[in-house]
Structure 1
Amino acid sequence: MTKFLVGAAIALTLASPALAQRDAPVEARVDKLESEMRAVQRKVFPSGAGMMVEPQIAPSAPTSVEATGVPATSAITDLSARVASLEQQLASMTGQIEQNDYRVRQLETQFADYRKATDAKLAAPPVATPVAPVGGPDVTVPEAPEPASTAAVAKPSTGDPAEDGYLYGFRLWEAKRYGEAVTVLKKVVADNPKSRRASYAQNLIGRAYLDDNKPSLASIAFYDNYKKMPDGERAPDSLFYLGSALVKLDKAADACKVYGELSDVYGATISAKMKADIVKARAAAKCK
């Protein structure tokens, strides 16, 4: 019986290399070998299934085994350590990507809520406040002077509709005719969405609203440029001015998030001047 048991143990030992190639953990393979060994013992000792064959090794056997020079770490253990290291690196990279995605989604959600509220305010009809008549002599209030004619601003003619429209809108903006500039620039974006000037025009729409003391409309224009044309040449500028618009709307915390987004997304490509402007803007908004 002892020979039979030893032979079964040897057979299981010889089969272990094949089992080591399986995907199961080492502990699971050891548990399986022990289970199979117990099954063999039950066959060998049918009248005493609980009997165990004691190994014929002296108590000092562990010392002699260590002296044989067998490495403490097997090839399987080394491979497991390498796999664990790769898994840790992959987990770290995955975590960073998920954090960036979460920040973008959070920014989009917050701005979508803000835009919805702003659109609702703009759509609401204005409430007229009656002014009580004041006693005394009539006072004639002079009417505000009408803006100068747009004929005073020359329209360029380069043969490129997108270029001509943007330059004309730019000249109107320089002349502080913000409403006219917005109308011209919106047409540039609508008619030439694939032109590089579309990003320029959309950014300048926001600048015109901002200079016209309309930060709510400006913030929407800037965000649209960043969201719809993130690779446009004026997308970084729009993010920067979006922060300025949010500060004017008393939303400094949101402005700080925008400045952070600007540095994270475009930090490697923006100019040194813009980087310095971001530092100043963060200080003015008291960003942490």
Structure 2
Amino acid sequence: MTLPNSPAKPRAVMIAALAAMLATSGAPAFAQDNADARIRKLEAEIRALQRRVFPGGDGRYFEPDISAPANGSSSASPQTTAVTDILARLDALESSIQALTSQVEMANNTQRGMEQRLAVLEGTSTTRTASNGTTSILPNAGSTATPTPTPRPATPAPTPAPTPSAAPSAERLAAVRAIAKPQTDDAGDDDYSYGFRLWEAKFYPEAQQALAAFVEKYPDHWRTTYGRNLLGRAFLDNGQAREAAPWFLQNYQADNDAARAPDSLLFLAEAMIQLQDTDRACIALAEFSETYPAIASGRLSDQYESNRRKVKCN
């Protein structure tokens, strides 16, 4: 049997196959064009991004970091610059300098206050005075032999015992040599005892020298309070009241609880009486009666009452 349409069927199949081949061969070309466009777009975006990030394009210049404002709006200007940073640091330095200046002024004010109080304390005599408010019991500083009293423990340096101006006679030298110096295990007590023997024999200049040497050599000896007091008496008994006063005052100020401190204060009043300095004599007597009431009415009562009768105190 003959199929009249059979030649047309293979032709249609061939056309369909050819159309499919054409469609298949065109797809890669289209896909490649699409990819190229996307690549070119990406490259353009990358170049734009590079211009944004690296505006100079030479790798040496970078824009400062840009932070977005808190409200979400974008800003191309940096938050700070070198100038604003310097100004901020200068403000901080000025604040620190102001704080330091305030502290220094406060410290200076405190120091001035302390210096003023120290000056007041240094100007206050350690010797208590009578109610009339007089602050010194030494005679007026008209003689180099009378130092100005200073607060304890610093005491006036009395005038050393003078060397006799006239050469002693042979008889006096012999009499002085006849006074033996004790020789015991206590050299300091021996020196004091020798000075005491000279004073007792009324060799006052020689006693002054011996006692002054003892006081200088043994400032902490238990006999020192006796030595200073007796040295003042050696001057006083020799008619040298002005030279005697500093020794009496020093002995009292050095330790008013020492054995001969009350004696020195009372002899100081006697020296002031001889110098006709009634005010200071009264101050010394008032100090003596207030500090040593038992001694004023006991061991030294006769001398105390005798000195009181010599002056008229308020």
Q: TM-score range by the shorter chain?
A: 0.5 to 0.7
- In the alignment, what sits opposite 2:308? 282
Cα RMSD (Å) = 3.1
Structure-2 change in CA distance of 1:157 and 1:261 (3 Å): same
How far is the alpha carbon of 1:275 from its aligned partner?
2.4
SS for the counterpart of 2:253 is helix
Q: Give the paired residue count.
A: 169
Among candidates 276, 284, 289, match of residue 250 of structure 1: 276
SS for the counterpart of 1:148 is helix
- In the alignment, what sits opposite 1:241? 267
Unaligned runs of 5+ in 1: 1-97, 124-142
Among candidates 105, 119, 136, match of residue 144 of structure 2: 119
- In the alignment, what sits opposite 2:241? 215
CA deviation digits over 1:42-66, x for unaligned, max 9? xxxxxxxxxxxxxxxxxxxxxxxxx
The answer to whether the 8 Å contact 1:223/1:239 transfers is yes
Is the aligned partner of 1:228 residue 2:223?
A: no
How far is the alpha carbon of 1:287 from its aligned partner?
2.7
User: Following the alignment from structure 2 to structure 1, what is the Cα–Cα distance between the partners of residues 142 and 186?
Assistant: 38
Among candidates 179, 192, 198, match of residue 166 of structure 1: 192
- In the alignment, what sits opposite 2:63? none
The one-letter code of the counterpart of 1:249 is L
- In the alignment, what sits opposite 2:11? none
- In the alignment, what sits opposite 2:82? none
User: Following the alignment from structure 1 to structure 2, what is the Cα–Cα distance between the partners of residues 109 and 286?
Assistant: 18
User: Following the alignment from structure 2 to structure 1, what is the Cα–Cα distance between the partners of residues 294 and 202?
Assistant: 34
User: Following the alignment from structure 1 to structure 2, what is the Cα–Cα distance between the partners of residues 121 and 237?
Assistant: 19
The answer to whether the 8 Å contact 1:215/1:248 transfers is yes
How far is the alpha carbon of 1:221 from its aligned partner?
1.2
How far is the alpha carbon of 1:200 from its aligned partner?
0.2
How far is the alpha carbon of 1:229 from its aligned partner?
2.8
SS for the counterpart of 1:103 is coil
TM-score (norm 2): 0.48
Is the aligned partner of 1:198 residue 2:224?
A: yes
CA deviation digits over 1:162-183, x for unaligned, max 9? 1101100000001111111111
Greater share of residues in helix:
1
The answer to whether the 8 Å contact 2:266/2:288 transfers is yes
How far is the alpha carbon of 1:104 from its aligned partner?
7.5
The one-letter code of the counterpart of 1:284 is K
User: Following the alignment from structure 1 to structure 2, what is the Cα–Cα distance between the partners of residues 281 and 119?
Assistant: 26
User: Following the alignment from structure 1 to structure 2, what is the Cα–Cα distance between the partners of residues 269 and 120?
Assistant: 30
Unaligned runs of 5+ in 2: 1-123, 148-158, 160-166
User: Following the alignment from structure 2 to structure 1, what is the Cα–Cα distance between the partners of residues 146 and 225?
Assistant: 27
The answer to whether the 8 Å contact 1:203/1:234 transfers is yes
What fraction of aligned residue pairs are identical, expressed as a percent? Answer: 34
Is the aligned partner of 1:148 residue 2:158?
A: no
The answer to whether the 8 Å contact 2:233/2:244 transfers is yes
- In the alignment, what sits opposite 1:14? none
The answer to whether the 8 Å contact 2:252/2:264 transfers is yes
CA deviation digits over 1:2-48, x for unaligned, max 9? xxxxxxxxxxxxxxxxxxxxxxxxxxxxxxxxxxxxxxxxxxxxxxx
User: Following the alignment from structure 1 to structure 2, what is the Cα–Cα distance between the partners of residues 196 and 107?
Assistant: 32
User: Following the alignment from structure 1 to structure 2, what is the Cα–Cα distance between the partners of residues 195 and 121?
Assistant: 25
The answer to whether the 8 Å contact 2:231/2:244 transfers is yes
User: Following the alignment from structure 2 to structure 1, what is the Cα–Cα distance between the partners of residues 290 and 193?
Assistant: 31
How far is the alpha carbon of 1:158 from its aligned partner?
1.5
- In the alignment, what sits opposite 2:47? none
SS for the counterpart of 2:223 is helix
The answer to whether the 8 Å contact 2:146/2:245 transfers is no
- In the alignment, what sits opposite 1:9? none
The answer to whether the 8 Å contact 2:130/2:283 transfers is no
User: Following the alignment from structure 2 to structure 1, what is the Cα–Cα distance between the partners of residues 290 and 146?
Assistant: 32
How far is the alpha carbon of 1:253 from its aligned partner?
2.4
How far is the alpha carbon of 1:224 from its aligned partner?
1.1
Runs of 4+ in 1 over 6 A off after TM superposition: 120-123
Greater relative contact order structure (CA < 8 Å, 6+ sep): 2
User: Following the alignment from structure 2 to structure 1, what is the Cα–Cα distance between the partners of residues 196 and 231?
Assistant: 10
